[in-house]
A and B are shown apart, each in its own frame.
Chain A
Amino acid sequence: MTTLQSQPNHAGDAHGADGAHDGAHGSAEHAKYPFLQHHFDTPHHQFDSAKLGMWLFLATEVLFFGGLFVAYAVLRNRFPEVFSYSSHYLDTIMGGINTCVLILSSLTMALAVRFAQTNRRIGLIICLILTFMGAIGFMVIKYFEYSHKIHDNLVWGTTFYVPPHDAAGELEAKELSVAPTTSITLNPVNPAVFAVPTLAQTPAVDASAIKQASRAPVGLATPTQMAKAEGLPTGEHDPSFAHPATHLVDKKMPANSHVFFAIYYAMTGLHGVHVLAGMVVIAWLLKRAIRGDFSSDYFTPVDVGGLYWHIVDLIWIFLFPLFYLIH
């Protein structure tokens, strides 16, 4: 229905395919609408093309974030205990406030589009400013969340286990990460078997001398796996068991807990980058709105910029339950 209604000018066009740009009707449209690009016939043509282009871009954004959502699903499927334990380190109230801030800024953006459509310039400017302030509020709350976690060593990778000031620990971790390669040589008995370790060779580094806390992220097997291989207690079913190679502060944290924080920073970080990009878009729209570029005839930038801002909100709507609302 909308498809038919939004192309009334095409139905009335008398000119053929070759005269699409030079026909009398086309010139009249271009004279009437100064914003109409020469390669579009009518404002509808231009508007629909812009919208389709934006939706195609949003589809690539979904696929972009989709890779990380898939990584999240695989990791959560693999380490369910890590996710249910570590999610309690996230502040649900702060995350909830951030959700509300984003929803409100989405609402002001939708209102901004409406104000632009109805020629209300002051309303448009106020709504764009409110949307921009929502983005700032979101980033400020995110900053406090991040800095709190970084202070508590709840980060990705090696620092999760070794505090940054523990230079010796870091050094040992680096040593171990190169150690296994030195013990792997070609098997002289059967050269066809590539890179098989010489089994009787003494390891280049006496691994037992290395502090456990610095080994987990760089070693080949997890502490639980190593403990199992040695027939030692792993504490898998004992909640009071202090794992020898887990987080430095919280010893009850399950092994591999750093993967939760790795995917948390990857997903919320990429989302944060999108919020920053959205702020640039809103600032640009604000500049043009103040200049008086938009009217009920021409508001396409506000509309497609709004679409971008809404998808940033949409991504957060899913990030929030996936990280903050695990019971």
Chain B
Amino acid sequence: MSNTATISHDTGGKTPGAHPIVGHLVPTWLLVFVGTSLLMLTVITVAVRYIDIGEFNIVVALGVALVKATLVCLFFMHLRWDRSFNTLVFVVSVVLVLLMMAFLIMDTNQYRDTQFDGNAPNAESTLQANAPGAPVARFKPYSP
């Protein structure tokens, strides 16, 4: 955390091993540890794909993805030591996407019953699709 205490201009900033005057220096072992954890989590999540645990398959897959994303953000992207305002900017963007997703799913579920598969919303009430000669193409089984 004492990243500003060791300003070393007298070395000209070119000595190998010099400390940066800005930002945070993440230890190599921590970077390698995080990278190894990410690889192991990938192996785990691929293995779980071949086990049928019903609804929990997607929960596990997305949970592991969330853990991996958090590791990348905190350590590879330095958010752990960065200004918290940068974290705020990033988290807000993710929350906005989730908000849009939630409302759009609610919306499409709401109008689902009024839709013909593949037609514009309320197509049947506007175009009377069940009437003879209506523009919904008529169907005949395919016989090669």
Q: Mark A residues whose CB is within 8 Å of B.
A: 1-3, 5-6, 8, 32, 43-44, 47-48, 51-52, 55-56, 58-60, 62-63, 66, 69-70, 73-74, 77-78, 92-93, 96, 99-100, 103-104, 106-107, 109-111, 114, 117-120, 176, 180, 183-184, 196-203, 207-208, 211-213, 215, 219-227, 229-230, 232, 244-245, 255-256, 295-300, 303, 306-307, 310-311, 313-314, 317-318, 320-322, 324-327
Contacts and interface: CB of A to CB of B under 8 A. Distances in A.
Contact of B35 (A104, A220, A326): A104
Interface in B52-106: 52-53, 57-58, 61-62, 64-65, 68-69, 72-73, 75-78, 81-86, 89-90, 92-94, 96-97, 100-101, 104-105
B28 A62 contact: no
Contacts of B48: 325
A221 B76 contact: no
Q: Is the interface of A mostly helix, strand, loop or mixed?
A: helix
B72 A225 contact: no
Given A119-B17, A314-B72, A321-B45, A51 B83 contact: yes
Interface residues of B, number: 91
Contacts of A245: 142
B135 A220 contact: yes
B22 A44 contact: yes
A230 B130 CA distance: 10
Contacts of B8: 296
A68 B62 CA distance: 17
Interface in B106-136: 108-109, 112, 116-119, 123, 127-136
B62 A321 contact: yes
A59 B90 contact: yes
Given A74-B104, A109-B76, A198-B133, A5 B69 contact: no
B38 A103 contact: yes
A296 B18 contact: yes
A321 B129 CA distance: 39
